[in-house]
Structure formats: C-alpha cells, structure tokens
C-alpha cells in the first residue's frame, strides 16, 4: 500500500522525471511524438506547488500535477512507476486529487488524455469520470473528462 502523498520537493525531481519517462515512453509510437507530460518542466511544478509525489515503501512511486482553474481543478498529470503498477498507487493519487479539489472548494475535477491512451480512458471511466468531448488541443488528439465532486 502507498505510504503518503506529499508536496513534491526539488529532491524529488530526478525520481519524478524518471517516472514520467518510464510511464509515457510506451505511448510515443502510438501518438507519433512524445506525450505532453514528457515535455513538462517538473521543477516549475515543484516551485509553483502544483506537484505532489506518493511514496511506497519509502521511495517515490508516482506523482500528480494539479492546476487550479477558475471553476475546476485540472488534473494535469498522474504517473505511476510502471514497476509499481497494480498496487493501488494510481487510485490513491486519484483519491488525493478529489480530496484536494474539495478542500479547495471546487465542485469539479477535469482532465484530458490522448485518444490512443485507451487503457487510461477505461480506468478514468471506471472511476466515475464522464467524457465531455474530444478534439485537438496543443497538437494532440485529446479526450476531455470531468468528475463532479
């Protein structure tokens, strides 16, 4: 079981970068280019206090990036170390996002995923997310979802 979700610090940057690369590399061939999360500067997210990490057995096993918007909290990225899949880490991060959104007074979470990331889309729908549309954004074909809280 995951130990704790805590704000990311600069000492987590290398682990975060490795996890994102390991989690998203498999999608490069499907998309035809690096997925958006592989292009992010996680040091900026750390400085802006928009990134959290989850520890499992004392080491960083995943991360989440949450961006405040006017009427919702955007779940910008959630990534789990592929070596740690199947241990509830992703679900714990998703629960954290819901708790954090509610704590901040939001009534809705939103996210988007690439249309070719079908396993992620299936997971989000199974967790109660609702598809709100599809379209191109920032050069990617995306599926947009929301979760009322």
Q: Which residue has the tokens 């992010």?
A: 40
pTM of the model: 0.95
In a domain, 134, yes or no: no
Please report, for the domain that includes residue 70, its CATH number.
Answer: 3.40.630.30
* Residue 47: per-residue pLDDT: 98
**pLDDT band with cut points at 50, 70 and 90 for residue 58:** confident
How high is the mean pLDDT of the chain? 95
Residues 41, 86: Cα–Cα separation, whole Å: 27
Strand 108-114 with 140-148, pairing: antiparallel
Is residue 124 assigned to a domain? Answer: no
pLDDT, tens only, 91-149: 999 999 999 999 999 999 999 999 999 999 999 999 999 999 999 999 999 999 999 99
Strand runs labelled E in the chain: 4-7, 51-56, 59-68, 73-80, 108-114, 130-137, 140-148
Q: Is residue 103 part of a domain?
A: yes
Judged against a pLDDT cut of 60, whether residue 4 lies above it is answered with: yes
In a domain, 18, yes or no: yes
Q: What is the pLDDT of residue 146?
A: 98
Domain that holds residue 22: 4-109
Residue 6 has pLDDT above 90, yes or no: yes
The total of structural domains in the chain comes to 1
Whether residue 133 is contained in a domain is answered as no
Residue-level pLDDT at 129:
97
Burial of 106 (0-12, 13-18, 19+ CB in 10 A): buried
Per-residue pLDDT at 1 exceeds 60: no
C-alpha closest to that of 113 among 76, 63, 71: 76
Place of tokens 């990534």: 79
pLDDT digits (tens, 9 = 90+) for 76-95: 999 999 999 989 999 999 99
């Amino acid at each position: 079981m995951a130990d704790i979700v805590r704000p990311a610090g600069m000492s987590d940057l290398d682990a975060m970068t490795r996890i994102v690369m390991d989690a998203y590399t498999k999608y490069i061939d499907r998309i035809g280019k690096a997925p958006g999360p592989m292009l992010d500067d996680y040091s900026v997210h750390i400085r802006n206090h928009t990134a959290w990490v989850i520890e499992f057995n004392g080491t960083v096993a995943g991360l989440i990036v949450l961006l405040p918007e006017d009427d919702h909290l955007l779940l910008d990225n959630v990534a789990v170390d592929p070596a740690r899949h199947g241990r509830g880490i992703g679900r714990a991060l998703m629960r954290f996002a819901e708790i954090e959104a509610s704590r901040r007074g939001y009534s809705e979470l939103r996210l988007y995923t690439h249309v070719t990331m079908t396993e992620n889309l299936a997971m989000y729908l199974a967790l109660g997310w609702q598809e709100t549309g599809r379209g191109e954004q920032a050069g990617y074909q995306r599926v947009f979802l929301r979760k009322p809280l």
